[in-house]
Amino acid sequence: KVLDASTLSFGTRVRWFAICFVAGILCSFLGTALLWLPKGIKLFAVFYTLGNIAALASTCFLMGPLKQLKAMFDPKRLIATIVMLVSIL
């Protein structure tokens, strides 16, 4: 079923998952490190938000975007999804 999620090969999807996930982690850590600078709160907000978006995008490479959205808005996960999306905004 995983192979039906995208027209990309499995190796390509895993590679882009890893790239996006690592970029998301790096952006989140960079944002946290920049928090201590003057006007660092704005930089923190930007980099932390980009990190969260990149981490979410990484799972889209494995599952496919439609299946990812369906899983996120499943009744079991709806509250967690809403909390996560509100925290990004």
Within 8 A by CB and 6+ apart from 39, the residues are none
Q: Is the pLDDT of residue 6 over 90?
A: no
Q: Is the pLDDT of residue 24 over 50?
A: yes
pLDDT per position as a tens digit, 33-61: 998 888 889 999 899 889 988 988 898 88
In the block, tokens 């923190």 appear at 44
Provide the pLDDT for residue 1: 47
Q: How far is the C-alpha of 38 from the C-alpha of 57, rounded, in Å?
A: 30
pTM: 0.71
Q: With beta carbons less than 8 A apart as the criterion, state whether 62 and 17 touch.
A: yes
In the block, tokens 């895993």 appear at 14
Determine the length of the chain.
89
23 vs 6, which has greater pLDDT?
23
